[in-house]
Amino acid sequence: MKKLLVLSMTLVTLIGCTSQKMMSIYHTQGVEITQNSSGDDIVNKYTTSLPFKTLHASLPICIAQELDNSPVVLTSENYFGSPWWYSYNLPSQQSITVNRGETIKLVEGKQVVANAVTDYQRNTKYFVSYTLTATRNQHSINYLFSNIKQAPQYTGSINDGFNNVKTEQRSRPDLVIEALNKEAIKIQSCLLK
């Protein structure tokens, strides 16, 4: 009986640890899914296009003003929490700073390439890094986000920085896409002011 109980608990734990794919991300317009070297499905690119009638500012200026590529501090605090119960951190002195570099990488004609980082909140803070290629067309700006990676602010006992965004529910690719949309909307609002 004891062995059966241990086996049942192990099975429940293993089932609870597996994460299902977020199927809605496969049907989200503009999202390109690919596989990483381990065979996991990841968000490879995301494209969105926002229309305009008249621009009142330049694309490079708005990108420089609205995007942030500051260094990110990731700590090795142990984060315990769940949407269903109290969350807390166990302090630790270990942290790493991920240096980000210049925001704007290239301005060529009607195209601007930039690197930036943003964040979203899900029980704890998550950082999202990306490369943006913004292209001005006749009546719209095309925003292509690539090299999309994320990192939780509190990474537990091992802190390995930014990783690809898997399509698993626990990776919350939907919140990553929402954060990227907010970045495009910030730039677009600046252009239209």
180: left (phi over 0), alpha (psi -120 to 50) or beta: alpha
Does residue 67 lie within any of the structural domains?
A: yes
Does residue 27 lie within any of the structural domains?
A: yes
pLDDT attached to residue 149: 96
Strands (E), the chain: 31-35, 41-51, 72-75, 78-82, 85-90, 95-98, 104-108, 111-122, 124-136, 140-152, 163-164
42 has a pLDDT exceeding 70: yes
pTM of the predicted model, to two decimals? 0.81
51 has a pLDDT exceeding 50: yes
pLDDT band, very low/low/confident/very high, at 134 (cuts 50, 70, 90)? very high
Interatomic CA distance for residues 96 and 131, integer angstroms: 21
Interatomic CA distance for residues 146 and 117, integer angstroms: 12
Q: Which of 160, 155, 152, 163 is nearest to 92 (CA)?
A: 155
Does residue 9 lie within any of the structural domains?
A: no
Count how many domains the chain has. Answer: 1
Does residue 10 lie within any of the structural domains?
A: no
119 has a pLDDT exceeding 60: yes
Least confident of 7-21, 76-90, 109-123: 76-90
Q: Are 141 and 49 in contact (CB under 8 A)?
A: yes
pLDDT attached to residue 86: 43
152 has a pLDDT exceeding 60: yes
Interatomic CA distance for residues 153 and 139, integer angstroms: 38
Does residue 109 lie within any of the structural domains?
A: yes
pLDDT band, very low/low/confident/very high, at 100 (cuts 50, 70, 90)? confident
Phi and psi at residue 66, to the nearest 5°: -95, -25
Does residue 7 lie within any of the structural domains?
A: no
pLDDT attached to residue 93: 54
Interatomic CA distance for residues 28 and 153, integer angstroms: 26
pLDDT attached to residue 2: 52
Does residue 34 lie within any of the structural domains?
A: yes
pLDDT band, very low/low/confident/very high, at 171 (cuts 50, 70, 90)? very high
Does residue 1 lie within any of the structural domains?
A: no
pLDDT attached to residue 191: 94
Positive/negative CA dihedral, 74, 79, 82, 88: negative
- Tokens representing 192? 């239209």
* Cα maximum dimension of the chain: 74
- What CATH number corresponds to the domain at position 71? 3.30.530
pLDDT attached to residue 13: 46
Residues of the chain with pLDDT > 70, as a percent, come to 78
The range of the structural domain enclosing residue 41 comes to: 21-192
180 has a pLDDT exceeding 70: yes
